[in-house]
Protein backbone atom coordinates (compact mmCIF):
# COMPACT_ATOMS: atom_id res chain seq x y z
CA UNK A 1 0.00 0.00 0.00
CA UNK A 2 1.51 3.27 -1.06
CA UNK A 3 2.42 5.41 1.95
CA UNK A 4 3.95 8.40 0.20
CA UNK A 5 4.91 9.85 -3.17
CA UNK A 6 8.44 11.17 -3.60
CA UNK A 7 7.78 13.53 -6.50
CA UNK A 8 11.36 14.69 -7.14
CA UNK A 9 13.70 11.85 -8.07
CA UNK A 10 16.58 11.96 -10.55
CA UNK A 11 17.46 9.06 -12.80
CA UNK A 12 20.16 8.79 -15.39
CA UNK A 13 19.11 8.35 -19.01
CA UNK A 14 20.78 8.45 -22.42
CA UNK A 15 24.37 9.64 -22.18
CA UNK A 16 23.89 10.90 -18.61
CA UNK A 17 24.41 7.28 -17.51
CA UNK A 18 27.97 7.12 -16.24
CA UNK A 19 28.32 10.89 -15.79
CA UNK A 20 29.60 10.29 -12.27
CA UNK A 21 31.59 13.51 -12.27
CA UNK A 22 28.46 15.60 -12.67
CA UNK A 23 27.73 17.09 -9.27
CA UNK A 24 23.96 16.72 -9.37
CA UNK A 25 24.26 13.05 -10.23
CA UNK A 26 27.12 12.41 -7.89
CA UNK A 27 27.81 8.70 -7.79
CA UNK A 28 26.02 7.10 -4.88
CA UNK A 29 25.20 3.42 -4.57
CA UNK A 30 21.73 2.23 -5.44
CA UNK A 31 21.04 4.62 -8.24
CA UNK A 32 20.56 2.18 -11.10
CA UNK A 33 16.82 2.45 -11.87
CA UNK A 34 16.28 -1.25 -11.08
CA UNK A 35 17.87 -0.71 -7.66
CA UNK A 36 15.91 2.51 -7.18
CA UNK A 37 12.64 0.70 -7.91
CA UNK A 38 13.55 -1.91 -5.30
CA UNK A 39 14.44 0.79 -2.74
CA UNK A 40 11.10 2.57 -3.27
CA UNK A 41 9.13 -0.69 -3.20
CA UNK A 42 10.67 -1.56 0.18
CA UNK A 43 9.58 1.82 1.53
CA UNK A 44 6.05 1.55 -0.01
CA UNK A 45 6.76 4.87 -1.67
CA UNK A 46 6.07 5.85 -5.29
CA UNK A 47 8.62 8.00 -7.11
CA UNK A 48 8.31 10.60 -9.86
CA UNK A 49 11.45 10.13 -11.91
CA UNK A 50 13.10 12.44 -14.44
CA UNK A 51 16.41 13.44 -15.97
CA UNK A 52 17.35 16.97 -17.07
CA UNK A 53 18.32 17.86 -20.64
CA UNK A 54 21.08 20.49 -20.62
CA UNK A 55 22.71 19.35 -23.83
CA UNK A 56 23.33 22.89 -25.14
CA UNK A 57 25.52 23.66 -22.13
CA UNK A 58 27.14 20.28 -21.54
CA UNK A 59 26.86 18.34 -24.80
CA UNK A 60 25.37 15.41 -22.87
CA UNK A 61 22.17 13.86 -24.25
CA UNK A 62 19.40 12.66 -21.96
CA UNK A 63 16.42 10.56 -23.06
CA UNK A 64 12.73 11.00 -22.25
CA UNK A 65 12.07 7.66 -23.92
CA UNK A 66 14.35 6.03 -21.33
CA UNK A 67 12.39 7.68 -18.49
CA UNK A 68 9.12 6.45 -20.02
CA UNK A 69 10.66 2.98 -20.36
CA UNK A 70 11.45 2.78 -16.64
CA UNK A 71 7.89 3.87 -15.85
CA UNK A 72 6.58 1.09 -18.13
CA UNK A 73 8.82 -1.43 -16.38
CA UNK A 74 7.69 -0.37 -12.87
CA UNK A 75 4.20 1.12 -13.31
CA UNK A 76 3.25 0.63 -9.66
CA UNK A 77 6.39 2.36 -8.42
CA UNK A 78 7.39 5.01 -10.93
CA UNK A 79 5.66 7.96 -12.58
CA UNK A 80 7.70 10.13 -14.92
CA UNK A 81 8.24 13.74 -15.92
CA UNK A 82 9.98 14.78 -19.12
CA UNK A 83 12.70 17.32 -19.76
CA UNK A 84 13.60 19.52 -22.71
CA UNK A 85 16.52 21.88 -23.15
CA UNK A 86 14.77 25.25 -23.65
CA UNK A 87 17.53 26.42 -26.01
CA UNK A 88 16.50 23.82 -28.62
CA UNK A 89 13.68 26.06 -29.90
CA UNK A 90 10.99 24.31 -31.99
CA UNK A 91 12.62 20.98 -31.29
CA UNK A 92 12.02 21.58 -27.56
CA UNK A 93 8.36 22.41 -28.21
CA UNK A 94 7.96 19.22 -30.27
CA UNK A 95 9.69 17.21 -27.55
CA UNK A 96 7.16 18.48 -24.98
CA UNK A 97 4.44 16.99 -27.22
CA UNK A 98 6.39 13.74 -27.49
CA UNK A 99 6.72 13.57 -23.69
CA UNK A 100 2.94 13.75 -23.38
CA UNK A 101 2.63 10.97 -26.00
CA UNK A 102 5.13 8.90 -23.99
CA UNK A 103 2.81 9.12 -20.99
CA UNK A 104 5.03 11.47 -19.01
CA UNK A 105 2.95 13.59 -16.64
CA UNK A 106 4.76 16.92 -16.56
CA UNK A 107 8.00 18.71 -17.44
CA UNK A 108 11.03 19.50 -15.29
CA UNK A 109 13.24 22.59 -15.83
CA UNK A 110 16.44 23.73 -14.12
CA UNK A 111 17.16 27.39 -14.90
CA UNK A 112 20.73 27.28 -13.54
CA UNK A 113 22.01 24.09 -15.19
CA UNK A 114 20.04 24.82 -18.38
CA UNK A 115 21.24 28.44 -18.23
CA UNK A 116 18.01 30.18 -19.23
CA UNK A 117 15.76 32.95 -17.96
CA UNK A 118 12.13 31.76 -17.88
CA UNK A 119 10.70 35.18 -18.75
CA UNK A 120 12.69 35.50 -21.99
CA UNK A 121 9.93 35.51 -24.65
CA UNK A 122 11.90 33.08 -26.85
CA UNK A 123 10.88 30.36 -24.35
CA UNK A 124 7.18 31.26 -24.21
CA UNK A 125 6.20 28.67 -26.89
CA UNK A 126 7.43 25.97 -24.48
CA UNK A 127 5.26 27.24 -21.60
CA UNK A 128 2.37 27.61 -24.05
CA UNK A 129 2.71 23.99 -25.18
CA UNK A 130 2.87 22.73 -21.56
CA UNK A 131 -0.19 24.85 -20.83
CA UNK A 132 -2.08 23.55 -23.87
CA UNK A 133 -1.28 19.91 -23.00
CA UNK A 134 -2.09 20.52 -19.31
CA UNK A 135 1.38 19.33 -18.32
CA UNK A 136 2.48 20.81 -14.98
CA UNK A 137 6.01 22.18 -14.87
CA UNK A 138 8.66 21.97 -12.18
CA UNK A 139 11.02 24.94 -12.05
CA UNK A 140 14.07 25.03 -9.85
CA UNK A 141 13.96 27.46 -6.90
CA UNK A 142 16.86 28.88 -4.89
CA UNK A 143 20.54 28.05 -4.95
CA UNK A 144 21.81 24.79 -6.42
CA UNK A 145 24.41 22.20 -5.57
CA UNK A 146 25.20 21.71 -9.25
CA UNK A 147 28.77 22.97 -9.72
CA UNK A 148 28.70 24.14 -6.08
CA UNK A 149 32.15 25.16 -4.83
CA UNK A 150 33.64 25.39 -8.32
CA UNK A 151 35.29 28.61 -9.57
CA UNK A 152 32.47 30.80 -10.83
CA UNK A 153 30.03 28.06 -9.84
CA UNK A 154 30.90 26.39 -13.15
CA UNK A 155 29.54 29.48 -14.93
CA UNK A 156 26.00 28.87 -13.66
CA UNK A 157 23.87 31.90 -12.77
CA UNK A 158 21.59 31.66 -9.72
CA UNK A 159 19.56 34.76 -10.64
CA UNK A 160 17.18 32.79 -12.93
CA UNK A 161 16.17 30.58 -9.97
CA UNK A 162 14.43 33.43 -8.12
CA UNK A 163 10.72 32.82 -7.53
CA UNK A 164 10.20 36.61 -7.77
CA UNK A 165 10.31 38.03 -10.37
CA UNK A 166 10.66 35.12 -12.81
CA UNK A 167 8.34 32.31 -11.69
CA UNK A 168 5.76 34.76 -10.35
CA UNK A 169 5.71 36.34 -13.83
CA UNK A 170 5.18 33.00 -15.61
CA UNK A 171 2.43 32.05 -13.13
CA UNK A 172 0.66 35.37 -13.77
CA UNK A 173 1.03 35.03 -17.55
CA UNK A 174 -0.36 31.45 -17.61
CA UNK A 175 -2.96 31.15 -14.84
CA UNK A 176 -3.96 27.64 -15.98
CA UNK A 177 -0.35 26.39 -16.04
CA UNK A 178 0.42 24.57 -12.80
CA UNK A 179 3.91 25.38 -11.55
CA UNK A 180 5.84 23.54 -8.87
CA UNK A 181 8.78 25.50 -7.45
CA UNK A 182 11.25 22.78 -6.49
CA UNK A 183 12.97 22.86 -3.10
CA UNK A 184 12.68 25.33 -0.25
CA UNK A 185 14.05 28.12 -2.48
CA UNK A 186 16.72 29.29 -0.04
CA UNK A 187 17.71 32.15 0.20
CA UNK A 188 14.45 33.29 -1.49
CA UNK A 189 12.09 30.92 0.33
CA UNK A 190 9.98 33.76 1.76
CA UNK A 191 9.44 35.11 -1.76
CA UNK A 192 8.52 31.56 -2.79
CA UNK A 193 5.92 31.37 0.00
CA UNK A 194 4.53 34.75 -1.05
CA UNK A 195 4.00 33.42 -4.59
CA UNK A 196 2.35 30.22 -3.28
CA UNK A 197 0.00 32.26 -1.12
CA UNK A 198 -0.82 34.67 -3.95
CA UNK A 199 -1.18 32.38 -6.96
CA UNK A 200 -3.52 29.38 -6.96
CA UNK A 201 -1.51 27.70 -9.74
CA UNK A 202 1.80 27.62 -7.83
CA UNK A 203 2.96 24.76 -5.61
CA UNK A 204 6.27 23.69 -4.08
CA UNK A 205 8.22 20.61 -3.09
CA UNK A 206 10.44 20.07 -0.07
CA UNK A 207 13.23 18.28 -1.91
CA UNK A 208 16.97 18.78 -1.97
CA UNK A 209 17.10 20.18 1.54
CA UNK A 210 17.55 18.05 4.66
CA UNK A 211 14.29 18.45 6.62
CA UNK A 212 16.17 19.11 9.86
CA UNK A 213 17.54 22.29 8.25
CA UNK A 214 14.25 23.57 6.75
CA UNK A 215 13.88 27.33 7.29
CA UNK A 216 11.34 28.02 10.03
CA UNK A 217 9.00 29.96 7.75
CA UNK A 218 8.78 26.94 5.43
CA UNK A 219 7.69 24.64 8.26
CA UNK A 220 5.24 27.22 9.62
CA UNK A 221 3.57 27.91 6.26
CA UNK A 222 3.57 24.26 5.16
CA UNK A 223 1.79 23.49 8.42
CA UNK A 224 -0.84 26.18 7.95
CA UNK A 225 -1.57 28.47 4.99
CA UNK A 226 -0.06 26.43 2.13
CA UNK A 227 -0.64 22.94 3.61
CA UNK A 228 -2.50 21.82 0.46
CA UNK A 229 0.23 23.00 -1.94
CA UNK A 230 3.37 21.36 -0.58
CA UNK A 231 4.76 18.01 -1.73
CA UNK A 232 7.28 15.47 -0.43
CA UNK A 233 10.31 15.21 -2.66
CA UNK A 234 13.78 13.94 -1.82
CA UNK A 235 15.85 15.02 -4.84
CA UNK A 236 17.44 11.55 -4.78
CA UNK A 237 20.36 10.89 -5.08
CA UNK A 238 21.06 14.19 -3.26
CA UNK A 239 19.06 12.95 -0.25
CA UNK A 240 17.77 9.40 0.17
CA UNK A 241 14.02 9.07 0.67
CA UNK A 242 14.68 7.17 3.92
CA UNK A 243 16.76 9.99 5.39
CA UNK A 244 14.17 12.55 4.26
CA UNK A 245 11.28 10.61 5.80
CA UNK A 246 13.15 9.95 9.05
CA UNK A 247 14.00 13.62 9.49
CA UNK A 248 10.54 14.81 8.44
CA UNK A 249 9.06 12.58 11.18
CA UNK A 250 10.92 14.59 13.82
CA UNK A 251 9.60 17.99 12.68
CA UNK A 252 6.64 19.67 14.41
CA UNK A 253 4.07 19.04 11.65
CA UNK A 254 0.43 18.60 12.57
CA UNK A 255 -0.87 15.03 12.30
CA UNK A 256 -3.54 16.30 9.91
CA UNK A 257 -0.92 17.88 7.62
CA UNK A 258 1.70 15.10 7.44
CA UNK A 259 -0.29 12.74 5.16
CA UNK A 260 -1.17 15.65 2.89
CA UNK A 261 2.48 16.51 2.32
CA UNK A 262 3.60 12.89 2.06
CA UNK A 263 0.85 11.58 -0.20
CA UNK A 264 -2.52 13.23 -0.68
CA UNK A 265 -1.52 16.62 -2.05
CA UNK A 266 0.47 15.19 -4.93
CA UNK A 267 -1.98 12.34 -5.60
CA UNK A 268 -4.71 14.94 -6.03
CA UNK A 269 -2.43 17.24 -8.03
CA UNK A 270 -1.47 14.57 -10.54
CA UNK A 271 -4.89 12.88 -10.51
CA UNK A 272 -4.17 9.36 -9.33
CA UNK A 273 -6.73 7.29 -7.48
CA UNK A 274 -5.55 5.96 -4.14
CA UNK A 275 -6.99 2.74 -2.70
CA UNK A 276 -9.84 3.46 -0.26
CA UNK A 277 -7.80 2.34 2.73
CA UNK A 278 -5.27 5.09 2.08
CA UNK A 279 -7.85 7.82 1.53
CA UNK A 280 -9.05 7.88 5.14
Q: Does 6 bind Zn ion (CB under 5 A)?
A: no
Closest residue to Zn ion, judged by C-beta, is 235
122 by DSSP, 3-state: which? helix
Q: Does 168 bind Zn ion (CB under 5 A)?
A: no
The DSSP letter of residue 165 is: I
Residue nearer to Zn ion on the CB measure, 23 or 199:
23
Report residue 4 CA to chain centroid gap: 15
Give the strand pairing for 137-140 and 45-50. Answer: unpaired
CB atoms within 10 A of CB 19: 17
For residue 10, the minimal CB distance to Zn ion (Å) is 6
The smaller minimum CB distance to Zn ion, of residues 51 and 235, is found at 235
R_g of the chain computed on alpha carbons:
17
Buried b (16+ CB within 10 A) or exposed e, 242-276: eebbeebeeeebeeebbbbbbbbbbbebbeeeeee
From 161-169, 228-236, 245-253, 257-265, give the range in contact with Zn ion by CB under 5 A.
228-236
DSSP H or E run through 270: helix 265-270
- 66: contact with Zn ion by CB under 5 A: no
Cβ distance to Zn ion smaller for residue 93 or 166: 166
Rounded to a whole number of angstroms, the minimum distance from the CB of residue 24 to Zn ion is 7
Residue among 36, 235, 237, 253 that touches Zn ion (CB under 5 A): 235
95 binding Zn ion? (CB under 5 A): no
CB nearer to Zn ion: pick between 180 and 262: 180
| Contact set with Zn ion (CB under 5 A) | 235
Amino acid sequence: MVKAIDMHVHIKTGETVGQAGHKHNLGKPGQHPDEMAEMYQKLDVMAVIFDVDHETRTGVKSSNADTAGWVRKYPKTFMGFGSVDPWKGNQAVDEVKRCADLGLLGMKFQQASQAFCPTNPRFFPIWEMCNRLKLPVIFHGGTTMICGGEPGGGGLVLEYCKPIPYLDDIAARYPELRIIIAHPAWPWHDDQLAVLRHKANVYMDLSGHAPKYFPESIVHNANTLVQDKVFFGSDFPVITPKRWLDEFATLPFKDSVRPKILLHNFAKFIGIELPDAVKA
